[in-house]
Amino acid sequence: MDKAGTRLQSKTALVFGEESYTYEQLDKLVDGLATALLKWNVQAGDRVAFLMPNCPEIVLCYYACFKIGAVAVPINIRFGADLVRYVVNHSGAQVLIAEPCLYGQYQQATAAQPLPAQVHLTQSLGAQGWIAHLAVEGPPPAWPDLAADHPAAIFYTSGTTGQPKGVLHTRRSLEQATINQIRQIGIDAQDSTLVMLPVCYLIGFGSQVLPFHAVGATCVLLPHFEPAQALQAMETYRTTKIYGFPGLYNELVNTPEAVHHDLRALQFCFSAGEATPVVLQERF
């Protein structure tokens, strides 16, 4: 992210609804949140959990953790209150950053049982307003020089066969996965990807946001998957590469509006989770 921000300051890095952020703007917001984390006494190696839907703030949380060496712990937004509490406890998170509505739902479901972590809520002010609300003053500090095997993130499994299992990724493993995506799929700075999957998932962040930002491409973030909205965004932003699964692609091709959109910029569609039926591939 730092390298892309230096090389491509005025290039659009992230789009979310009416909000748009250049690489320079995104980098400054990340610095602001990273500085706030330090103010909250978060140190390298500490766990920072976040409970958020797709929005610029969740992207900032990942990058701010990476900048100071904290370990990002994204929480699956489909988890119920018991599993949210489990992830916070199991990961040993010192801080939980949450979107107010999601945190409110958690509190109602657990009779407001306190979590063993500092809780900080985002604001309904957009990413720039939220960072400004944190009132971080002065230039950013010197960021730590971190080893390649330093832990970077813990992603939890879905918990379909028992309690969710935390999978630790180091800086090296995320970097290598990013390099593999770039090389195998041929991602470059001219690309634009539409992020339809939750960014709290590894496929949403690790397969899309990280590699596309690493080369200076543009990520267009949907708050949630809705076929008509996705098709319109693909046409508007001339999306070149998308990621999904067979059910998602099936919804796209069966949307009545699909035939009315110009998707000729689309070059590559990644599908995961299960085999994509030949008939779906042909229709797509």
- pTM (predicted TM-score): 0.93
pLDDT of 218 reads 97
Q: Is residue 138 part of a domain?
A: yes
CATH code for the domain in which residue 104 is found: 3.40.50.12780
Structure tokens at 25: 């703007």
Q: Is residue 201 part of a domain?
A: yes
Instruction: Give the residue numbers spanning the domain of 197.
Output: 2-224
pLDDT of 124 reads 81
Q: Is residue 230 part of a domain?
A: no
Q: Is residue 99 part of a domain?
A: yes
**Sign of the dihedral defined by the CA atoms of residues 8, 71, 222, 103, in that order:** negative
User: How many structural domains comprise the chain?
Assistant: 1
Q: Is residue 265 part of a domain?
A: no
pLDDT of 74 reads 98
pLDDT of 191 reads 97
Q: Is residue 268 part of a domain?
A: no
Q: What is the mean pLDDT of each run of 10 residues along the chain (284 residues)?
A: 66 95 95 95 96 97 98 95 90 94 81 73 88 82 93 91 92 97 96 97 95 97 95 96 92 87 92 77 71
Q: Is residue 233 part of a domain?
A: no
